[in-house]
Chains A and B, each alone.
Chain A
Amino acid sequence: MGAVDYPAGLDELIAKKVDEIVSKRVEERLAQLGNKPKGPPSMTIIATKGTLDWAYPPFILASTAAALGWDVAIFCTFYGLNLLRKDLSDLKVSPLGNPGMPMKMPFGPEWFRKISWNIPNVLQCNVPGYESMATSFMKQTIRNTGVADIGDLRALCVESGVNLVACQMTVDLFGFNHDDFIPEVSEYCGATKFLPMAQKADVSLFI
């Protein structure tokens, strides 16, 4: 049998047509199987810590993802509920149990600021007001370096449509009520509601 001479461009036409038809069929099939066509990337964060240093990662990640056009939800549970309080100025940070924390003074000449002070735990536990001092130094450090205030960061999240969800169980556990938290909390629910959201998300983080 001899080779057949196809008209010029027929291969391309066939490839194009097959592409169109297959893409359409795949979409239809996926829709049939209950899979919605892919929307923007999505992320869920479970925030479980309530100190000043742990407040930053969830809000920074959420606001950045929102700036990239992602759908984001943060589920605040246990001490993470602190992130939803009306007044965030109460968030504290403790060097105790945080041996990784650089302890540098946020004031004074450059050479002084570079020193990392190794304060023994026995002093950290026994000097009254130590945690307040550490917190105020941390806040000064944050201001000095141009990092956003935690309240501003949260407001940016809210403005960019980040979904803030609170764990009702924790609210009950610690005897809080909804008035303690910002009105922008979209829902008070439990793990049963949140886990399916996490499963559908492209990125799920536990902080």
Chain B
Amino acid sequence: MQFDKELDARGLACPMPIVKTKKTLTSMAAGQVLKIVATDSGSVSDMKAFAEATGHELLASETQGKEFVFFLKN
């Protein structure tokens, strides 16, 4: 999937994946896509909740081995 920026949240535990996602999104233009890679299993439901609460579209949420990859639209 196409993306404009990638955030490496590997090795970070709650709440860092979400807090860093929010921080990165503020530096991006509306409509751009952010790819987030995390290893925290809690981030799967967190990312979904974040997308719903903030109105950003979660384009995809995949598990790749021990990593969780998300594509979020700003």
Contacts and interface: CB of A to CB of B under 8 A. Distances in A.
A160 B21 CA distance: 12
B31 interface: no
Interface stretch (A27-35, A61-69, A125-133, A163-171): A61-69
Contacts, number: 40
Interface stretch (A17-25, A42-50, A141-149, A172-180): A141-149
Interface class of chain B by DSSP: helix
Contacts of A147: 13-14
Contacts of B21: 67
Interface in B1-52: 11-16, 18-19, 21-23, 39-40, 50
A64 B18 contact: yes
B64 interface: no
A171 to B, nearest CB: 29
Given A146-B40, A148-B16, A67 B11 contact: no
Nearest to A147: B13
Contact-size category for A: 10 to 19
A158 interface: no
A201 interface: no
Given A63-B19, A67-B19, A156-B19, A145 B13 contact: yes
Among A66, A67, A68, A160, the most chain B Cβ lie within 10 Å of the Cβ of A67
Contacts of A146: 11-13, 16, 39-40
29 contacts: A60-B15, A63-B15, A63-B19, A64-B14, A64-B18, A64-B19, A66-B19, A66-B22, A67-B15, A67-B18, A67-B19, A67-B21, A67-B22, A68-B22, A68-B50, A69-B53, A146-B11, A146-B12, A146-B16, A146-B39, A146-B40, A147-B13, A148-B12, A148-B13, A148-B16, A156-B19, A159-B23, A160-B19, A160-B22
Interface of B: 11-16, 18-19, 21-23, 39-40, 50, 53-54
